[in-house]
Chain A
Amino acid sequence: MKPAKFEYVLPSTVGAAVAALVASKGEGKVLAGGQSLLPLLNFRMARPAVLVDLNAISGLSYIEERSDRIAIGALTRHRELEQSPLIAAKLPVMAAAMRHVAHLAIRNRGTIGGSLSHADPAAELPMLSVFYDATISVQGPDGRRTIAAEEFFVDALTNCLEPEEIVVEIEFPILQHDGWAFEEVARRFGDFALASIAVSVRPGPAGLKEARVALMGVADTPLRLREAEQELIAMELDNRTPQRFSEIVVSKVSPNDDLHASGEYRKHLLAQLSKRALQTALAAKG
């Protein structure tokens, strides 16, 4: 299980990295933390002619507060997000989810830019980017552009990037929420999610003023359930709300069967998690 032959370049600027991708004529692949790419190389499922290693580029790893947003550099490791007091204070749902991201050794190497680019539908960071309505900045031969997270994920393991584009930064708006919850079930702690939901709520004079719901592990991409959010806002709050909410959430998805879980079981899990998550979020809103 050895990778096929490739050329290795170690640029020191994003511009040089993009130039290397351009020079590879579509045969290049970006290496960040390598936690998903290296197994693919070793299985020879990915066979890039050129491997462009971003790890020598300085200034791509940071977590910064910019008025109402948190900006995160693409090379920021999962472990840094997990341990960041800023993330804990401003993006609590992310802070709660990060401990579910794989295992410590993987979190030490894996990067946010890599995780988003890999676009695994059962991975936490893609789901969080959708949940928070993050903006993904990418750099290509024509300069920078930004992409809304919901536009970024096209299919399982497929993003909307052009072959010469590299994710450089992700901006997460700081959500005004009063109650939130993150729930995940995986076979073992750190495994890919069988089902997961993030919920946040802001109470209004009657019922909820705002609600946000995102899922992973139950479709080909992470999902933001905008319809379910509206239905939840429209609901009168009583002790049956979590049950009704969970029925709405489940009605929005039709997960496939795979080796680890049938679609029916995933729906069952999602129903349980949705109920629990909304209960937690509503309880926290006071």
Chain B
Amino acid sequence: MSSDQRAHLLDAMRPKYVGAPIKRTEDPRLLTGKGDYTADRKPDRPLHLAFLRSGQPHARIAGIDISAAQAAPGVVAVLAADDIADDFKPVIPFSRMPNYYATPIVPLACKKVRYVGEAVVAVIATSRYLAEDALELIEVDYEPLRPIARAEMAVADGAPLLHEEAGTNVLIAREFKKGNVAADLKAAAVRVSGRFEMTRKAPLAMEPRSCCAEYDKRRDAITLYTSSNIPGIVRDAISESLNLPGHRLRVVAPDVGGSFGSKGSLYPEELLICIAARKLRRSIKWTADRLEDVSSSSQAFAEVVDAEMGFDANGVATSLEADVIGDVGAFSIYPWTCGLEPVQVVSFLPGPYKIASYRGSVRGVATCKPPTGPYRGVGRPISTFVTERLMDLGARALGIDPLEIRRRNLVRAEEFPYRIASGIIWDKTGFVECLDAAAETAGYDALRKQQAEARKQGRLFGIGIASYAELTGIGSRISAAPGMPINTGSETAKITIDSTGSITAAFGVASHGQGLETTLAQIVSDDLGARFEDVRVVQGDSDEVPMSTGTYASRSAVLGGGAAKHASKLLQEKIKRVASHLLEANADDIEVHDGNAVVLGTDRAVSFKQIAKAVYSDMKTLPVEAREELSASYTYDPINGTTAAATHIAAVEVDPATCFVKILKFVVAEDCGRIINPMIVDGQVHGGVAQGIGAALFEELIYDDDGQLLSASLVDYVIPSAPEVPLMDVVHVESESAVAGGFRGMGEGGTIGAPAAIANAIADALSPLDIDVSILPMTPERIFRLIEQAKLKAKGQADD
């Protein structure tokens, strides 16, 4: 081979699409109103469903009178728990975890209601208007029980039980231990501690949850369109619950307008709509309104963490102890269980740091609220908030700069793979590199000088740092949720070249805004040697691959991308074999790029279209045994998964007149391995940070002591809008991971780092007033109270 040829080969092998800022294939349709969402489905003469939801936080259902509703105009059916009792088996969110009680999931409240918003009766009518009219005619006779509105009420002596069969309101309890924390804390030069809280939050996707069960009379089959990011899991669960085999149940997640975790669990509504469609032999539609979505979709956080960290005199964190209580709501969710969020808090508390000894205990407690579930970042927003606050408190106590104390504690490049005290193993990632890159981009030293100047003028200017690491793209060796029996460790790609030479790449992953149609096509184009525009990505459809669990836990680039790479390579081998016949060359001398198979160093080439014609249509060109179907399928399992990490730096100013926080600067330096599409990575970071700002400053679901949701509308549930989100700088530390393609998952990091960085910045800003930040969101009201208390305290000290 001449050197010219070698150069040519390397050029052809260089990724052409992976790494390129290709505009998202999805965007033209989504941005011009041509998206096809579940609510856009138009099955033949559909019926419409509306739910009567509980207005009681905790009550026994003594009776339900549906007779007037049944007689109302347009009403086809009214269903309560008794009417569907024989139509399903409860879905059990099973786990092998000890000290865990799996609350059964049923479509409609049975015998009692456990939160305001729980579905009690379903009305199916010829229009949603008529269905809602009929809801008003239903009489439910509730016998109120004492509500359990707060976690501390649930564990108090003599508290009423939400699930009597469980015998306790503590649905999950666990403890992680390593080393002798008590001794290490005792020996520490400095101990810092606090009681930290992140209040309950709504994931709040722009598209509310929506289902459309399309009934096929000919086959007694259902296609459930659902705004879900786990259509495969929903298919398997409904199939089992309704005893409806997979060939008569297809679950499709069409265009989905965001999830952030709220569409990542099985919902009672999905069971109910399939039961009703089957019973009535009709297609049925339901879309949650905003009130239903906020009050019945899975929620986030709601944890209080008592934590203490010990440092030696050099600022090395030696020990960490934490007790977590999670207010998990009324039910355990399927398949993740109610342990998902709170257990992940204790799993990740040591973070990216080499803390030698650790004890983390957690209790997940049932209350009269909607279940908590996956939310972008799962557990890590609060574990990072706690650990990063403790790092700053330690730095302050020891007189060490916050940047420096992190540098002394982060796992360093030569120390990977590193097992942290909670047992998680970090593979090689740029922890320190992210810290340094963020500090450099933020102009950290200059920021500190700016702060000194601002303080001279009496301004409240603060800088906050947060470093974190997360596990992404996890394989079969690690369970996505603790002790969960379903396999979340693999994904399948099936790539086919049809008789026109076009390529369809089918996946079970389910994009709900991440741009997987673009990024997976980029990977397939490179690894198959195709033109990007010839590749169509099909995803979110349970019929496309035998088994899939969907898109969550920052897994789709790693697992879907890995499967795409392997399947592409297998298919490329087939192309080469066919081309070797057509070009009369050795398969090893053929390279495939831009939709052509080319004999190395020559201009002899055949296009995919010609190859497809030779294989499928033209019966003379190829010998029969060479007519291989141009299709390849591969199921990829990264076994362990890979780490992703970042450092966020925020600079803020608190206005003492309004008590508002203004974010002056926000920098993210992140390591997501090899970047598939830098525009999409930046977009994920921007969106994640915007949500993190929501968690840090704005968003809070407020329940009163009777378990009533007070902030159920977007007037009262305040989310950041464009003016509240600052411009941000995003820097990429692209250290390749060990998984196929060198990718790492990166969809969640923004929400993990931002709340902690902003909390530290506010604490830094308020430190001249001796104010600590231990609860998020830091609303103007909370800042006002803290400043008032600080004034009183200062006055008291002055008076003394």
Contact = CB atoms under 8 A, between A and B. Distances in A.
Interface string A243-286: 00000000000000001111011001100100010000000000
Contacts of A42: 289
Given A1-B291, A189-B723, A259 B702 contact: yes
B718 A188 contact: yes
A264 B784 CA distance: 9
A262 B658 contact: no
A166 B721 CA distance: 36
Contacts of A44: 132, 136
A2 interface: yes
Contacts of B289: 1, 42
A187 B657 contact: no
A1 B290 contact: yes
B659 interface: yes
A272 B133 contact: no
A259 B780 contact: no
A66 interface: no
A259 B657 contact: no
Given A187-B718, A268-B784, A2 B657 contact: no
Contacts, number: 58
B710 interface: yes
Contacts of B718: 187-188, 191, 260
A276 B658 CA distance: 12
B698 interface: yes
B416 interface: no
Given A1-B289, A259-B710, A265-B659, A187 B128 contact: no
Interface in A180-213: 185, 187-189, 191-192, 194
Contacts of B628: none
A269 B658 contact: yes
A52 B657 CA distance: 45
Given A1-B289, A265-B780, A188 B721 contact: yes
B143 interface: no
B780 A188 contact: no
A144 interface: no
Contacts of A56: none
Given A2-B132, A4-B133, A187-B718, A261 B781 contact: yes
B36 interface: no
Contacts of B660: 185
Contacts of B453: none
Contacts of A3: 129
Given A1-B289, A1-B290, A2-B132, A259 B716 contact: yes
Interface string B638-661: 000000000000000000011110
Given A187-B780, A188-B723, A259 B711 contact: yes
A3 B289 CA distance: 13
A5 interface: yes
B436 interface: no
B729 interface: no
B724 interface: yes
B698 A187 contact: yes
Interface string B109-151: 0000000000000000000110011001000000000000000
A273 to B, nearest CB: 8
Nearest to A272: B657
Contacts of A43: 291
A22 B289 CA distance: 34
Contacts of A276: 657
Interface in A133-174: none
Nearest to B723: A189
A262 B290 CA distance: 26
A192 B718 CA distance: 12
A194 to B, nearest CB: 8
B473 to A, nearest CB: 36
A260 B659 CA distance: 13
Q: What size tier do the contact residues of chain A reach?
A: 20 to 34
Interface string B710-733: 110001101011011000000000
B170 to A, nearest CB: 30
Contact of B716 (A5, A188, A260, A262): A260
Contacts of B128: 2
A262 B783 CA distance: 12
Interface in B704-752: 710-711, 715-716, 718, 720-721, 723-724
Nearest to B718: A187
A4 B50 CA distance: 14
A102 B472 CA distance: 41
B658 A272 contact: yes
A268 B660 CA distance: 13
Contacts of A5: 129, 133
A5 B718 CA distance: 31
B766 to A, nearest CB: 16
Nearest to A187: B718
A44 B133 CA distance: 10
Contacts of B720: 188
A30 to B, nearest CB: 22
A185 B132 contact: no
Given A1-B289, A4-B133, A259-B710, A185 B781 contact: no
A192 B715 CA distance: 9
A260 B779 CA distance: 9
Contacts of B136: 4, 44
A185 B655 CA distance: 12
Interface in B259-295: 289-292
Contacts of A2: 128-129, 132
Contacts of A192: 715
A44 B50 CA distance: 15
Interface string B212-225: 00000000000000
Nearest to B717: A259
A265 B132 contact: no
A262 B781 contact: yes
Contacts of A189: 721, 723
Interface string A41-80: 0111000000000000000000000000000000000000
A44 B720 CA distance: 28
Contacts of A188: 718, 720-721, 723-724
Contact of B784 (A1, A187, A259, A265): A265
A112 to B, nearest CB: 21
Contacts of B132: 1-2, 44
Contacts of B659: 265, 268
Contacts of B721: 188-189
B781 A265 contact: yes
Nearest to B73: A5
Contacts of B715: 192
A31 to B, nearest CB: 18
Contacts of A264: 784, 788
A242 B577 CA distance: 87
Nearest to A271: B657
B417 to A, nearest CB: 45
A44 B710 CA distance: 18
A205 B128 CA distance: 69
A188 B718 CA distance: 8
A168 to B, nearest CB: 29
Contacts of A187: 698, 718, 780
A272 B655 CA distance: 11
Interface in B87-109: none
A268 B659 CA distance: 10
Given A44-B132, A272-B657, 6 more contacts: A1-B132, A2-B128, A188-B724, A194-B780, A265-B780, A265-B784
List of 9 A-B pairs having minimum Cβ-Cβ separation, nearest first: A1-B289, A272-B657, A2-B129, A265-B784, A2-B132, A265-B781, A187-B718, A259-B716, A185-B658
13 contacts: A1-B291, A1-B292, A2-B132, A3-B129, A5-B133, A42-B289, A187-B718, A188-B723, A189-B721, A259-B702, A259-B710, A268-B659, A269-B658
Interface of A: 1-5, 42-44, 185, 187-189, 191-192, 194, 259-262, 264-265, 268-269, 272, 276
